Chains A and B, each alone.
Chain A
């Protein structure tokens, strides 16, 4: 398996533009997580899905952020409009169902480095 795949790896955009980050989880994993990493706030959980259904979005900072998971192999995180303070590395992670022996290890993607000018 190729692991969790994220695209793009780097994104530079201007304030006010829409940004869409993409994630493909590991096949067979039924949990998907979106994180934001900054020096100031560390690794923050934004939202997570189970079987494509959003379970907890309490970490989403504002209404400008939205996430979808239309099927088991694809998720998006959208920021509209983007602001300079959204600059961060965004990680997607997936984890297998309970009982598979891996006790919810989170497998992270390579991240998307977002810069909003």
Chain B
């Protein structure tokens, strides 16, 4: 099955700095890569995603990049703010059983210091 590695497990930055979270996956059949944000005590929520036919996608201060050859993808947050503090999960999804089923990374706890 698919295996997703996520690094770092904890990331501490100062407000205004950039933050980068990296993930690798093992199965080349994966072709959809969502990122979820989970605030303390809350449910995970989708913040951005990228499909395998795209190398980069941006949405305001967040961007994702994908390198299919190397099987890795990254989340970039610029101008971090305290409200960005949360756990971020990457996932690699492949089509199966009529849907895209995700395998999640272990999560990165991002702490933004004001």
Give residues in A with beta carbon < 8 Å to B.
31, 41-45, 48, 50, 55-56, 91, 95, 98, 103-106, 108-111
Contact = CB atoms under 8 A, between A and B. Distances in A.
Contacts of A43: 44, 89, 104, 107
A31 B97 CA distance: 10
B15 to A, nearest CB: 26
B102 A106 contact: yes
Interface bin, chain B: 20 to 34
Interface of B: 32, 34, 36, 42-46, 49, 51, 89, 93, 96-107
Most buried by A among B32, B36, B93, B100: B100
Contacts of A95: 99
Given A42-B107, A43-B89, A43-B104, A104 B97 contact: no
